[in-house]
Chain A
Amino acid sequence: MLKSKRAEMLTAFVLIAPFVLVYAVLFVYPTAKMVQLSFTNAPLIGDGDFVGFDNYIRVFKDRLFSTAVWDTVYFVLLTVIPSTLLGLLIALGVNRLKGFTQSLVLAAFFLPYILPVSVVYRIWSWMFDKQFGIAQYVISAFTGGTHVAVFRTIPLFMPSVAFITVWWLVGFNVLLFIAGLRNISTEIYEAASLDGASRFAQFRRITWPLIWPVTVLVMTIQLILQLKIFDQVYLFANGGRTDATIVLVQYIYKWAFQKNQGGMGATVSLLLFAIIIIFSVLQYQLLRSRGEK
C-alpha cells in the first residue's frame, strides 16, 4: 500500500516535472533575479553592485514617479468602468438583433479590436491632426473656428487617449458579455414577463445579477491590462511633452532602456507588480463578495 503510494507520487512528480521546470526557468528564476536586481546598480546588461534600498529611496523621491503613478491611475479610472459598461450596453443591444444583422453589427464593433496599436495611432493622429485632421471640423464648431492640437494639450491628452482605447478594445468586452447573456436561460425571462415584470425590472432583477460574474471578469481583465498601459500613451505623446503624461511602464522603459539602468528599471517593475496584485485582488474580492449578497 505504502509502496504503491510512493510509486504514484513518483509518477505524479515525473508528469508535472516538465511544467515545474519550465515554470521555474521562465518565471520563478527571472522574478527572483528581478528582485535581486532591484537592490543593485546594474546596467541593462550584466550585474551591478549591491546598493541596499538606494533604488527604492531614489524612486520614491523622484517627482516623475508620482506623476507616473497618478497618470496610470487616472487612465485606469477613465477606461476600466466606461469600457465595461459600454461593452455591456452594446452587448445588450446586439443580443436583441437576429441572424445576419447581428453578425454584421457584432463584426462592426469587433473590427477595431483586430487592428494593431500602430494602425490605431495612425488613424486617430491623422483624424485629430491640428492642420489637416478631419475631426478639426467638429472641434471648430465648438471652439468657434480654432483648431486644437488634442494630443499636445496636456489636460486633453489622457481623456482622448482613453476614449481611443475604449473604442479600440470594447469589442472584446462585447464578445464576453454576449457569451454571458446567451448563458442566461430564456425561460427565466418568459416566467418574468408572465408575471408582468417590465423590461427594466427584468434587467435589474435577472440580467444584472446573472451577468455579474462576467462583469467582474471583464473589469479585472481591463484593470490589469490598463495598469500595464504603454503603447498608446507612448505613441501619442512621442516627441512631445512626455513627462507630463508618463505612465508606469513608460517610466520603467525610460530607466532600463533609455538610461541603461537595469537596477532602477527592476525596482519600478517590482513596484508596478505589487500595485497590480494589490489592485486586482482587492477589486476581485470586493466585487465578488458584493455579487454574492
Chain B
Amino acid sequence: MIKSILKKALVTTALLTVATFSAQAKDTIVWWDFLGGGDGVRMKAMIDEFNKEHADTVEIQATTLDWGTPFYTKVQTSAAIGEGPDMMTYHLSRLPLGVSSGALSEITPEELAAAGIKGTDYAATNWKAAQVGGKQYAVPLDIHSIVLYYNKDLLKAAGLLGDDGKPKGLDGAANWDAALAKLTANGVQGLSTATADGATLWRIFYSLLNQQDGQFMTADNKFLDGANLDKAVKATTEMASWVKNGWLAPQTEYPASIALFTSGKAAFHINGVWEVPTMVDLAKNKKLGFEWGAVQLPTFYDHPATWADSHSFAIPNNKGKEVPAAKRKLVLDTIAWFDKHSLEWAGGGHLPAFSPVREGADFKALKPNSDYSTLAATAAFDPVSVLAGVASPVYDAAGNFLIPAVSGDLAPKDAMDQMRDDLQGQVQ
C-alpha cells in the first residue's frame, strides 16, 4: 500500500517536473481517472499510445485516484475552487449527483459537433444516460454489465450445452430453475454469485425487474410504485428460490463467489464483465481446469434486459477558471480519439460504447466479449436520481434489504416494502 502510494507520488512528481520543463508550445491535458484495477493497465497503455501519436502537439498528464466516493468527493471539492482536471472519467450512474452539486460542465451540441461526436454513434439508452435534464454532461466510453459465466464441461455433462458452445434452453424462469436443479449435484452448485454483496444482488434484481418492464423509480420520484412493487417482489422471490432450493449459497463474499466458479464448484457464475480478464488469464495459464464462456443473462420474463452502467468522460465545472474554448475543443478531440480507439479498452471485458467499434469486425473477433455484446441493445441503466448510482443510497438499500430477502431471513414482500419506504423517506 505504502509502496504503491510512494510510487504514485514519484510518478506524479516526475510527470509534473517533465511538464514544467517541457516545451511551452505543447498543449497539456490534465486527466484524472479511478481505474486502479486490471482495466487501469489498459488505460495507461492507451494514454501512452495517445501521447506518442501526438508527441509534438498534446500531452496527457494522467493521475489515477481512489475509486468510488473518494473520487467523486475530490472532483467536487476541487471543481468548487477551480482546481479540477481538464477531463476525467465518470460513471454515468453517478452523473445526476455530479450535476446537482455543480461539479460538471455542460457539453454543448456545437462543441460535440465540432469534435465530430454524434449521438447516433452510441446505443440510444447509453447516450441518454449521459444526459441530465436534456443536457449532455458526458461522452460514454464503454458499457459494462453483468454476464452469465458458465462451465462448459459441467453444462455438457448435463446436456445444457448447444452445438455452438453456448448454453441452451435457459430462457424463462422455469427453464432456468430446472437447469440449476439439474446442475446441482456431486458437490457442485448450480450458481455462484456474491450473495453477501448488495451491489451484485442489485444488478441481478434490476435486470429481472426490467425484464418485466418494472420501474424502480418513476419520473416523479416514486419508488416501486403500484404494480412495480409486485414485479419487484416477483424478481426477489425468484432470486430467493435459488438459495431456498440449495442451488446458490447464501452470504457468499465477492472473492469467494469467484473462487467457487474458478475451482469448478459452481456451474454458473453471475458477475460483472470486469472479471473477464480474470478468467482469460487463468485459462491462459492453464489454471482453470475447464472450458469457460460468458453470455448475456437469460431472459427470465417478457423480454431481454440487463443492468448496465457506463464509464464515460466528463469535464469538470472549474469555478472561477473559465476554460478557453480552444482547450475544450482539444479535450473533446481527445475524448473522440479514445472512443475511436476503444477496442483496446474492450480487453478489460467492457463493451465499447462507440458503436462503429462495437459493431466492427475486429471487435466481433474478440472473444468472449462479442458473445455477450448483444446486451448493449437492451441495457437497463440505473434510475436517474441523486439517490441512485454507484455507491449511492440505492446501493445501500440493496445491501440492507435484498441480502436478507435472498438469504431467506426476510420475506420478499416485506423486504420490498421496507426498501420502498426507506428510499421514499430519503426523497426531498
Q: Please give the residue numbers on chain A whose beta carbons come within 8 Å of chain B beta carbons, in ascending order.
A: 43-46, 116, 118-119, 125, 129-132, 149, 152-153, 239-244, 254, 257-260
Binds A, one of B147-155, B253-261, B352-360, B370-378: B253-261
Assess whether B386 is in contact with A239, with CB atoms less than 8 Å apart.
Answer: no
User: B391 touching A258 by the CB < 8 A rule?
Assistant: yes
Contacts of B404 in A (CB 8 A): 241
Q: How many residues of B contact A (CB 8 A)?
A: 36
- Residue B183 at the chain A interface, CB threshold 8 Å: no
User: B251's closest neighbor in chain A, by CB?
Assistant: A149
Measured CB to CB, the nearest residue on chain A to B256 is A131
Q: Contacts of B399 on A, CB cut-off 8 Å? A: 239-242
- Asked if residues A129 and B253 are in contact (CB atoms below 8 Å), the reply is yes
The 17 listed contacts between A and B (C-beta, < 8 Å) are A44-B76, A44-B77, A44-B101, A125-B253, A130-B252, A131-B252, A131-B256, A149-B250, A152-B196, A239-B254, A240-B399, A242-B396, A242-B399, A244-B400, A258-B69, A259-B387, A259-B426
Q: Is B104's beta carbon under 8 Å from chain A?
A: no
Whole-angstrom CA separation of A45 from B100 in the bound complex = 12
Chain B, Cβ-Cβ closest to A41? B428
Instruction: Give Cα A260–Cα B386 distance, bound, in whole angstroms.
Output: 9
Q: Which residues of A contact B396 (CB under 8 A)?
A: 242-243, 254, 258
Q: What is the interface of chain A mostly: helix, strand, loop, or mixed? A: loop
Given the known inter-chain contacts A45-B76, A130-B252, please indicate yes or no for A243 contacting B198, CB distance below 8 A: no
Partner of A131, one of B69, B260, B422: B260
- For residue B321, give the distance in angstroms from its CB to the closest CB of chain A: 15
Chain B contacts for A239, CB-based, 8 A? 194, 196-199, 254, 399
Contacts of A241 in B (CB 8 A): 399-400, 403-404
Pair A260/B199 contact, Cβ less than 8 Å: no
**How far apart are A16's CB and chain B's nearest CB, in angstroms?**
31
Contact with A along B98-127 (1 / 0, CB 8 A): 001110000000000000000000000000
Neighbouring A residues of B260 by C-beta, 8 Å = 131
| Residues of chain A with a CB closer than 8 A to B259's CB | 131-132
In the bound complex, residues from chain B placing their C-beta under 8 Å from that of A131 are: 249, 252-253, 256, 259-260
| Distance of A149 Cα from B254 Cα, bound (Å) | 13
* In the complex, chain B residues whose CB is within 8 Å of the CB of A44: 73, 76-77, 101
* A259 with B199, Cβ < 8 A, contacts A125-B253, A129-B256, A130-B256 known: no
Q: How far is the CA of A246 from the CA of B198 in the complex (A)?
A: 15
| Residue contact A257 to B69, C-beta cutoff 8 Å | yes
- Bound CA span A236–B387, Å: 23
**Complex Cα–Cα for A194 and B400 (A):** 64
Residues of B within 8 A of A149 (CB): 196, 250-251
* Given A239-B196, A240-B197, 12 extra CB contacts under 8 A: A44-B101, A131-B249, A131-B256, A132-B259, A153-B251, A239-B199, A241-B404, A254-B396, A257-B73, A258-B392, A259-B387, A260-B97
Chain A residues whose CB sits within 8 angstroms of the CB of B386 once the complex forms: 259-260
Which residues of chain B from 179 to 225 have any CB-CB distance to chain A below 8 Å in the complex?
194, 196-199
Give the chain B neighbours of A45 by CB distance below 8 A.
76-77, 80, 101
Contact pattern, B 155-180, Cβ under 8 Å of A = 1, otherwise 0:
00000000000000000000000000
Of all chain A residues, the one with the shortest Cβ separation from B260 is A131
The reply to whether B97 and A46 contact each other, CB–CB distance below 8 Å, is no
Chain B, residues 257-272, CB within 8 Å of chain A (1/0): the string is 0011000000000000
Q: Is B6 an interface residue (CB 8 A)?
A: no
Question: Which A residues lie within 8 Å of B77 (CB)?
Answer: 44-45
Report how far A43 CA is from B97 CA in the complex, Å: 11
CB-CB < 8 A to A116: which residues of B? 1
Nearest chain A CB to B26 CB, angstrom units: 33
Contact of B403 among A46, A125, A130, A240 (CB under 8 A): A240
B391 to chain A: closest residue by CB = A258
| CB neighbours of A244 from chain B (8 A) | 400
Contacts A44-B76, A130-B253, A131-B252: A240 and B97 contacting too (C-beta < 8 A)? Answer: no
Q: Given the known inter-chain contacts A46-B80, A152-B196, please indicate yes or no for A258 contacting B249, CB distance below 8 A.
A: no
A254 to B387, CA, bound (A): 12
Contact, CB under 8 Å: A242 / B400: yes
Contacts A116-B1, A152-B196 given; does A260 touch B400 at CB 8 Å = no
Could you tell me if B393 and A258 are in contact, using CB atoms closer than 8 angstroms? Answer: yes
- Minimum CB–CB distance for A40 against chain B, Å: 15
In Å, the complex CA distance between A260 and B396 comes to 15
**Chain A residues whose C-beta falls within 8 Å of the C-beta of B197 in the assembled complex:** 239-240
What residues on B are CB-neighbors of A43 within 8 Å?
A: 101
Give CA–CA (A125, B256) in the complex, Å: 11
Query: Taking the nearest CB of chain B, how far is it from the CB of A63, in angstroms?
Result: 9
Most buried by A among B194, B251, B391: B251
B residues 411-428 in Cβ contact with A at 8 Å: 422, 426
When the two chains form the complex, which single residue of A118, A125, A132, A260 contacts B101, counting CB atoms closer than 8 Å? A260
Centre residue among B77, B253, B403, B404 by max chain A CB count within 10 A: B253
Docked CA distance A242–B101 (Å) = 25
Measured CA separation A254–B393 after assembly (Å): 9
CB contact between A132 and one of B73, B256, B393, B426 (< 8 Å): that residue = B256
